[in-house]
Amino acid sequence: MATIDEIVQRCQDQVGDLAFGYVRDWKKRNPQGKVMGYFPVYFPAEIAHAGGILPVAILGGGNRIKLKQADAHMYSFMCSICKSTVELGLSGRLAFLDLFVGSPICDAARHMPNLMQRNVPGLTIDLLYYPGNLRTELAIPYLHREFNRIRQLLESVAGHAIDDEVIRRSVCLYNESRRLVREIYAIRRDSPWLILASECYLLVRAGTFMPVEEHIDLLREVLAQIPDRHARPIDKIRVVYEGAFCEQPPVEFIQALEEVCYVVDDDFLLGSRLIREDVPEDGDPLLNLACSYRDRSHCSSVQHDLRRLKSDDLLAKCRSAEAQAVILSPAKFCEPGLDDQVHHLKRFDREGIPSLQMEFQERMKDFDGVRTQTETFAEAIQFYAN
Amino acid sequence: MSEQTAAQVAVNGAQPSAMRAKAKTLVKNAFGEAWKAKEAGRKICYCFVLGPAELLRCFDMYLIYPEISSAQMAAKKTSLPYIQKAEDYGYSADTCSYVTADVGLYLSGNQHPLGHVPPPDLVINDTLCNTYYKWTEVIHDFWKCPVFSIDHPVRLKRDEKYPYDIEETYQQDKQYVVKQLLELIAECEKLTGIKFDPERFRKNLEFGNQMSALWCEIIDKTRNAPTPFDAVLDGYGYIAGMNTHKGTAEGVAYLEAVKTELDQRIVKGTGAVAEERFRLLWMSAPCYPYFRKIPEMFHQRGATFVYTPQFMQGTRGTYRSKMYDLERPLESYAESMLDYFHGRNPRQAPQWSMGWWGGKDDIRNHLDLMRRFNADGIVFHAIKSCRLNSGGFADLREHLSREGVPILMLESDIADPRFFSEAQVKNRIEAFMEGLEERKYYRARAAV
């Protein structure tokens, strides 16, 4: 049996593979199988899974891709994930996709699918439009219809109908996967030395490109070994990280933070964990998914729901994780994240909880600055706070 | 005569549009009267220019337009201290400078260069731009006022057949918007104590239709040579005058006066510049902190702007083919919101898409505009802090250049003067204009 370290290393290799080797292999093993890509934050993967389609999150190119073509097609002040996703398309790396679904979650992401449509011939592209007014009850029937439209789209890719019963079975599987991820997060909150944030990130990230059944096995394997892991607590401050709901920082960035702090909760890969509870397993599955998106989800900077303040959500997260501080770290040029940073900052100032602000970029390669900033912040808390 | 002196004469030789000056007065009054309205007991509603002004006016609310507020700060060269205040507060220079200027306003006791702006009783969000969402959340953080979002789904233009029924999707989206409008009506009734009067709404839409018809006539006048007005320098003035008075008799009267003035200018042969040598399309909003300076750099070379998609994009509901149907006002109103992005026919991208939704149609649309306005080239103004406007420009440039369209890409900002470099902009404009001169010369020679 592989150790946690080996599993995590395997996930890291797969995540860093710009050729999407894992997915291409899956396609070879399943010659009739279809693959759909989606842009973050969230996609109801259950519907694709039910159709026998492998849903793959297209999360940009990280810090290993060179932008050879995208810069000529995209405006300078766009976030890195949009640019590198377009680069993936322009360079033919997404040729294995049978469908790509974008979502206009921000002004940059509004452009991206259209750019792909104009410049990546042969790639079928559509938009999933999430309701922009979650305060109203109208959002649910709207989203129910929208998920139904996506079902029709996926049926055309799969070449067969995707009926409710099959989606219900997929919902059960994804509920199990979400439960296991919640379990890992709970361990991190209780004993962060047993499973690191960077390891957890890679384990969750693996679920964005592998079939949920395999991901469940992987998570179970890890969970079974965590209690026996030899690790001792170190005197580090406990922080919650906020800002990576869409573009993801390099793993080295998370590791740089971890050299100094225990990151006890975060919003990395939020889309995979957006639904915070089980989706009901009986009844109309698409309606259940729509209701869960509105009423059982974590806050994100691109979900607009003034029934609840985003800072309430983050504060609750900090308190439940017994965090001493928060790191507010949106991606460079990420307007929703940058605006929310101020919203959180003011709230945490009022609550007397220290916060560190710093931007990241998926393309960054130098982490000394991150380490130094975090060290200074942590020392201020450890040695000078009351 | 030196080149500089000749250029100066050309600029000074043009007679400015009186209606541009009138627009300034209209906008100034709109701000100046806000406190009086508040004191008279009217509710203050912050509503974006693309928002449902015609509907909100049915409740006697006084409308304040946050974008116009920020643009006015910039045009009056006062935006920077406001923006810096917002940055000191925590906002990034990479976010929309309209938003940061607005935040600076709140942090300055709402003292705007055009008057003291009252805080909102209601804010209307409009999902046409994602920054609007965040902006209304920011306003909510400051003023703790109710926020109402009108959500209109956007669809990607597809060349191939959808596996689902596009028309059915459109009708469902429309009903979704209509129901939200009904919720908004209920909220406004509760806030103001004024019952919704469908007749009044119909009347406002009728004014809207009249404005729409006039506006379409006005923007068509730039097809004259010489064009009687500059699409940037004058056009944006007209838009501001119009947008602050959407759905009102004053708005109709203003556009009638604009049309009359332009007709007179055409009869007299008065152009936007003394000698029109080049006709250009301007893509995007202007650089408000240097509102006059950039167009004048073109004017000095005999170039003028004859069209900007913001004529349509910045003035929702004012396009002739989409007149409000007064027999079914709410539905028709909802359609105007949906059609803004993907047109009545979702297979056909609107002409003002600027690279957002139309796939290859966006390229065809730009080429059509070139022909329609007999233009010599396109200037893309990439706004540093506006990804919605500018995100598609680089790609459009790539495609349009391949079609032989002369393109100039300028970078600056809508409200932040720090992103304007006069020397750099001037150099690029000069190089572009020299290219156009050369092209003209060789074309003339080839024609002989």
The pLDDT assigned to B131 comes to 93
The pLDDT assigned to B353 comes to 59
Task: Name chain A contacts of B134, Cβ cutoff 8 Å.
Answer: 301, 335-336, 339-340
Which residues, listed in sequence order, are joined to residue B45 by a DSSP beta bridge? B63, B122
Percent of all residues in chain B with a pLDDT value above 90, rounded to a whole number: 74
> Contact B395/A74, CB-based, under 8 Å?
yes
A residues 139-158 lying closer than 8 A (beta carbon) to B: 139, 141-142, 145-146, 149, 152-153, 155-156
Distance from CA of B358 to the nearest CA of A (A): 7
What b/e string do you get for A255-272 counting C-beta neighbours within 10 Å, with b at 16 or more?
Answer: bbbbebbbbbbbbbbbbb
Rounded Cα–Cα distance for residues B44 and B49 (Å)? 15
Task: Name chain B contacts of A138, Cβ cutoff 8 Å.
Answer: 176, 179-180, 183
- Per DSSP, which regions of chain A are E strands? 34-38, 53-57, 99-102, 125-127, 237-242, 261-265, 325-328, 355-357
Domain assignment of residue A30, yes or no: yes
Which residues, listed in sequence order, are joined to residue B411 by a DSSP beta bridge? B382
Mean pLDDT in residue range B271-288: 94
The pLDDT assigned to A114 comes to 86
Domain assignment of residue A152, yes or no: yes
CB of A308 within 8 Å of a chain B CB? The answer is no
The pLDDT assigned to B220 comes to 92
Contact B11, B273 (CB under 8 A): yes
Suggest the residue from A136, A150, A151, A339 to mutate for an interface test with chain B (most B CBs closer than 10 A). A339
A residues 312-341 lying closer than 8 A (beta carbon) to B: 332-333, 335-336, 338-341
pLDDT in tens, A293-334: 999 999 999 999 989 999 999 999 999 999 999 999 999 999
pLDDT in tens, B195-249: 999 999 999 999 999 998 999 899 999 999 999 999 999 999 999 999 999 999 9
- Specify the CATH number for the domain of residue A105: 3.40.50.11890
Cα nearest neighbour of B362 on chain A:
A118
> Contact B356/A114, CB-based, under 8 Å?
yes
> Contact A338/B92, CB-based, under 8 Å?
yes
pLDDT in tens, A211-244: 999 999 999 999 999 999 989 999 999 999 999 9
**Helix (H/G/I), strand (E/B), else coil: A114:** helix
Cα nearest neighbour of A106 on chain B:
B130
Q: How many domains does chain A have?
A: 1
Distance from CA of B93 to the nearest CA of A (A): 9
The pLDDT assigned to B1 comes to 38
Task: Name chain A contacts of B394, Cβ cutoff 8 Å.
Answer: 71-75
Domain assignment of residue A326, yes or no: no
pLDDT in tens, A336-356: 999 999 999 999 999 999 999
pLDDT in tens, A56-84: 999 999 999 999 999 999 988 999 999 99
Suggest the residue from A110, A308, A333 to mutate for an interface test with chain B (most B CBs closer than 10 A). A110
Helices (H) and strands (E) in chain A, counts: 16, 8
The pLDDT assigned to B415 comes to 97
The pLDDT assigned to B2 comes to 41
The pLDDT assigned to A41 comes to 96
CB of A118 within 8 Å of a chain B CB? The answer is yes
pLDDT in tens, A105-140: 999 998 888 899 889 988 999 989 999 989 999 999
* Pick from B94, B134, B141: CB nearest A77: B94
The pLDDT assigned to A238 comes to 97
Domain that holds residue A131: 22-158
- Nearest in space to B303 (alpha carbons), one of B281, B277, B282, B284: B277
Task: Name chain B contacts of A131, Cβ cutoff 8 Å.
Answer: 151
pLDDT: which is higher, B152 or B415: B415
Distance from CA of B146 to the nearest CA of A (A): 9
pLDDT-derived band of residue A173, with 50, 70 and 90 as boundaries? very high
Domain assignment of residue A31, yes or no: yes
- The two structure tokens encoding residue A194: 């047993």
Cα nearest neighbour of B88 on chain A:
A342
Residue A372 scores a pLDDT above 90: yes
Contact B38, B118 (CB under 8 A): yes
pLDDT-derived band of residue B6, with 50, 70 and 90 as boundaries? very low
Mean pLDDT in residue range B359-371: 86
Distance (Å) of CA B416 to CA A77, A253, B73, B78? 15, 32, 10, 10
- Please state the pTM of the whole predicted model: 0.94
Task: Name chain B contacts of A145, Cβ cutoff 8 Å.
Answer: 172
- Nearest in space to B408 (alpha carbons), one of B398, B418, B416, B397: B397
- The two structure tokens encoding residue B143: 């003023």
* Pick from B153, B359, B390: CB nearest A75: B390
Distance from CA of B75 to the nearest CA of A (A): 23
The pLDDT assigned to A350 comes to 97
Whole-number mean pLDDT of chain A? Answer: 96
CA A358 to the chain's CA centroid: 19
Percent of all residues in chain B with a pLDDT value above 70, rounded to a whole number: 90
* Pick from A76, A138, A302: CB nearest B180: A138
The pLDDT assigned to B97 comes to 97
pLDDT in tens, B53-110: 999 999 999 999 999 999 999 999 999 999 999 999 999 999 999 999 999 999 999 9
Distance from CA of A345 to the nearest CA of B (A): 8
> Contact A118/B360, CB-based, under 8 Å?
yes
Distance (Å) of CA B188 to CA B31, B55, B201? 22, 10, 13
Residue B8 scores a pLDDT above 60: no
pLDDT in tens, B315-330: 765 655 568 999 999 9
Cα nearest neighbour of A101 on chain B:
B156
Using left for φ > 0, alpha for ψ between -120 and 50, and beta otherwise, residue B399 falls in: alpha
Residue A114 contacts by C-beta under 8 Å, 6 or more apart in sequence? B156, B157, B355, B356, B357, B358, B359, B362, B392
Task: Name chain A contacts of B166, Cβ cutoff 8 Å.
Answer: none
Q: How many CB pairs under 8 A join A and B?
A: 167
3-state secondary structure chain B: CCHHHHHHHHHHHCCCCHHHHHHHHHHHHHHHCHHHHHHCCCCEEEECCCCCHHHHHHHCCEEECHHHHHHHHHHCCCHHHHHHHHHHHCCCCCCCHHHHHHHHHHCCCCEECCEECCCCCEEEEECCCHHHHHHHHHHHHHHCCCEEEECCCCCCCCCCCCCCCHHHHHHHHHHHHHHHHHHHHHHHHHHHCCCCCHHHHHHHHHHHHHHHHHHHHHHHHHHCCCCCCCCCCCHHHHHHHHHCCCCCHHHHHHHHHHHHHHHHHHHHCCCCCCCCCEEEEEECCCCHHHCCHHHHHHHCCCEEEEECCHHHHCCCCCCHHHCCCCCCHHHHHHHHHHHHHHCCCCCCCCCCCCCCCCCCHHHHHHHHHHHHCCCCEEEEEEECCCHHHHCCHHHHHHHHHHCCCCEEEEEECCCCHHHCCHHHHHHHHHHHHHHHHHHHHHHHHHHC
ipTM associated with this complex: 0.95
Whole-number mean pLDDT of chain B? Answer: 89
Mean pLDDT in residue range A180-208: 98
> Contact B384/A77, CB-based, under 8 Å?
yes
Q: Which amino acid is at B261?
A: E
Cα nearest neighbour of B126 on chain A:
A132
